[in-house]
Amino acid sequence: MRFPSRSALLATAATAATLAGVACAHDTSDVINLSKDSFKSVVDPEPLILVEFFAPWCGHCKALAPHYEESATALLKESPPIKIAKVDCTVEEDLCASQDIQGYPTLKVFRNGTPAEYTGPRKADGIISYMKKQALPSLSKVSAAELADFKTKDRVVAVAYLPEQSSHLSTFSKVADKHRDAYVFGHVADAEAAKAAGVTPPAVVLYRSFDEPEIKYTGPIDDEEGLEDFLKAQSVPLVDEVGPENFMTYAEAGIPLAYYFTEVNGANKDADLKAIRETAQKYRGKVNFVWIDADKFVNHAKSLNLAGESWPAFAIQDIQGGQKFPLEKLGSDAGKAIASFVEDFVGGKLVASIKSEPIQEQTGPVHVLVADEFDKIVYDDKKDVLVEFYAPWCGHCKKLAPTWDTLGERYASIKDKITIAKMDATTNDIPPSAGFQVQSFPTIKFKPAGGREWLDFNGDRTIEGFVEFISLNAKNDVKVDPSAVNSTAAKTEAEQHEKPKHEEVSSAPALCARSPR
C-alpha cells in the first residue's frame, strides 16, 4: 500500500527525538558498526539482523539514533539475541550503492544475508516489537502451558483455537503470513487449553493490551477478508491520542480517521471524549477515532482545512482517497454535533472540503488554475493541458517561472487547442477527480485532450524539452515552429524537486535525499 509522504506530526517528533538523543548519548553502543569488510561476515550468518544505512548529517537519522540504540540493547537480551547494526553511507559508499540505498535512513531486515524492507515504526518500542515479531514464525504453535505468556507477547495477539487438522487453519495461516509485521499470530490445538480459555473451537480470539483485553471474532473463520477487517478494526484503541509514533497504524488501517482537536487541558475535553467514545463504538471498523494535541499539531489541523484558530475542532480524513471533511464550529454540545457529522459522513452525505483560491480573471499567457475550476479547465475535452503544480516558496519553481511564461506565450495563438496552466498547490487542494496528490514541487503533468489520464513530465525543463514532450503526447495538432522557440529562458534540471515544508500526514517514512543539500 502507498501513502503520501510525512506530516507536520513527524517534524515535531524528529525534533523531540533529536533533543532526547543529546541527553541519552552514551559511550558504549550495542549497535554493530559495519564496514565493507565486515558486512558479509557479520550479516550472512545471522538468521535475523536489522541494518540501518544512514548518513551522519541526516536529521531523520539523528532522530532515530537514540531509539535505535535503545532497541539494540533491548533486543540483545532476547533469547536468542537479535542483533542490530548500522552502515555509515558517507564512508561506505560502495557498500550502500550495492545495497541500492536511495535515501537515509534506510532500514533492512536480513535473514541469512537476504534483505527485506523494514516497514515498522522508528520509535524504540515499535522497533523492538517489530523485530520480536520477525523472530517468531508467522504463525506460532502454542501449547497450553505457553498460552498465558503468548497472549501478552504484543499489543495485539490473534489466537486461533482449532483442532490440528482443521480446514480453517489454511485461511488463518494465510492471514498470518500476510500480516505478520503487524500482529502476533498463534494456533492452539489443545482442546483443554481452549476450554480453560473459555473458548469453543473453532474460534479466533484477539488479546489486546488496551480497551477490552479479549475480543472474540464472530464471523466465519474461512473468510479471509472478514478476519482481516476484524483485525484492522480491533487493533487500535477506541479513542487514542494520535502522534507520530502511532499515526502509521491508522494510515495502514485503510479506513477514514476522525480527529478531535483539543488543547491538552481543554475545558470540555473529558466530557467530549466520553461522547465521542460512544460514536466511535457505533462506527468501529468504519471510522477510526483519535484525539490530537491541537496546539502542537496546528499545521496538521490546517492541512485538514481547519482554520486552526479555535479549539476544539473536528475533522475526518479519508487518507487513501485524499479527502478531508472539517467541522469547525462544534457548538455547545460537541459530542452531539460530532455524532451527527459522522453519521452524515458514513451515509455519504458530506461533500469533501476542497481548498481553493477565488477563480481569477486570466490576463497572462499562462492560465492561473484554482481548485474550484479545476475540472472545468483540465477536463475540457477539446484541449490538451499542461499544468505545473508549484509552491511559492520553492526555489526550483521560481527558476522555472520565466520558462513557463515563455511556454505560455509560444502556445498563446492556439489557446483553443492547448492550455498551459499553473496551480499554487499550497493554497489549492488537488481535487479527487485528478486521481493524484502532489508530493514535491514543481510537479508537472500533462493531460491529453479527450481523456482523463495524466502523464508525468520528467524531461528537461527547457522550452525545447516541453515543446517536444507536448508534440509527442498532444492529441490536438499543436505544433509550434521550433525556430520560434526561445532558448534563452532559464534552464532547470529535471531531477530538481523540493519536498513540501509542511508535509501532509502520510505514512511513507521520512527520508533524507542521498546527498546533503
394 tagged catalytic: yes
CA distances from 368 to 345, 363, 420, 504 (A): 32, 9, 9, 23
Entry field: residues in the chain: 517
Q: Which of 61, 89, 96, 512 is catalytic?
A: 61
**Residues in contact with 240: Cβ distance below 8 Å, sequence separation at least 6, in sequence order:** 210, 246, 290, 291
Q: Give 155 or 410: the residue with its C-beta nearer to ligand NAG.
A: 410
Cell of 132: 520480536
488 lies in the site for ligand NAG, by CB under 6 A: yes
Q: Which of 334, 366, 489, 505 binds ligand NAG (CB under 6 A)?
A: 489
Q: Which of 24, 89, 96, 394 is catalytic?
A: 394
Residue range at the interface with ligand NAG (CB under 6 A); choices 9-17, 84-92, 260-268, 426-434: 84-92
Which residue carries 483443554 as its cell?
192
397 tagged catalytic: yes
Nearest-approach distance from CB 167 to ligand NAG, in angstroms: 53
Residue ranges with strand state E in 19-144? 32-34, 49-54, 83-88, 106-111, 114-117, 140-141
CA 344 to chain centre: 26
DSSP state of 459: S
CA distances from 9 to 51, 245, 507 (A): 26, 9, 11
Site for ligand NAG in 168-227 (CB under 6 A): none
143 lies in the site for ligand NAG, by CB under 6 A: no
Q: Which of 58, 89, 96, 512 is catalytic?
A: 58
Nearest-approach distance from CB 268 to ligand NAG, in angstroms: 51
| Adjacency order of strands within the sheet including 106-111 | 32-34, 83-88, 49-54, 106-111, 114-117
Q: Which of 89, 96, 397, 512 is catalytic?
A: 397
Nearest-approach distance from CB 24 to ligand NAG, in angstroms: 16
DSSP state of 202: S
Q: Give 129 or 406: the residue with its C-beta nearer to ligand NAG.
A: 406
d(CA 60, CA 340): 41
91 lies in the site for ligand NAG, by CB under 6 A: yes
Nearest-approach distance from CB 373 to ligand NAG, in angstroms: 27
Q: Give 85 or 147: the residue with its C-beta nearer to ligand NAG.
A: 85
Nearest-approach distance from CB 56 to ligand NAG, in angstroms: 9
Q: What angle do CA 212, 214, 220 make, to 5 degrees?
A: 125
Size of the site for ligand NAG (CB under 6 A): 10
Nearest-approach distance from CB 65 to ligand NAG, in angstroms: 12
61 tagged catalytic: yes
Site for ligand NAG in 290-309 (CB under 6 A): none
Q: Give 33 or 360: the residue with its C-beta nearer to ligand NAG.
A: 33
Comparing CA positions, the residue from 75, 88, 69 lying closest to residue 20 is: 69
Site for ligand NAG in 31-60 (CB under 6 A): 33, 35
Q: Give 32 or 144: the residue with its C-beta nearer to ligand NAG.
A: 32
DSSP state of 429: P
**Residues in contact with 31: Cβ distance below 8 Å, sequence separation at least 6, in sequence order:** 52, 68, 69, 72, 84, 85, 86
Q: Give 93 or 456: the residue with its C-beta nearer to ligand NAG.
A: 93
Neighbours of 152 (CB within 10 A): 13
Q: Give 408 or 509: the residue with its C-beta nearer to ligand NAG.
A: 408
58 tagged catalytic: yes
Q: Is 422 helix (H, G, I), strand (E, B) or coil?
A: strand
What are residue 87's phi and psi, to 5 degrees?
-130, 125
Q: Give 35 or 427: the residue with its C-beta nearer to ligand NAG.
A: 35
Query: Using CB atoms within 10 A of its CB, is residue 454 exposed (0-12), middle (13-18) or buried (19+)?
Result: middle
97 lies in the site for ligand NAG, by CB under 6 A: no
Residue range at the interface with ligand NAG (CB under 6 A); choices 43-51, 86-94, 226-234, 322-330: 86-94
Q: Which of 69, 88, 424, 504 binds ligand NAG (CB under 6 A)?
A: 88
CA 39 to chain centre: 31
388 to 427: interface string for ligand NAG, x by CB under 6 A: --------------x---x---------------------
Which residues are marked as active site? 58, 61, 394, 397
Q: Which residues bind ligand NAG (CB under 6 A)?
A: 33, 35, 88, 91-92, 402, 406, 486, 488-489
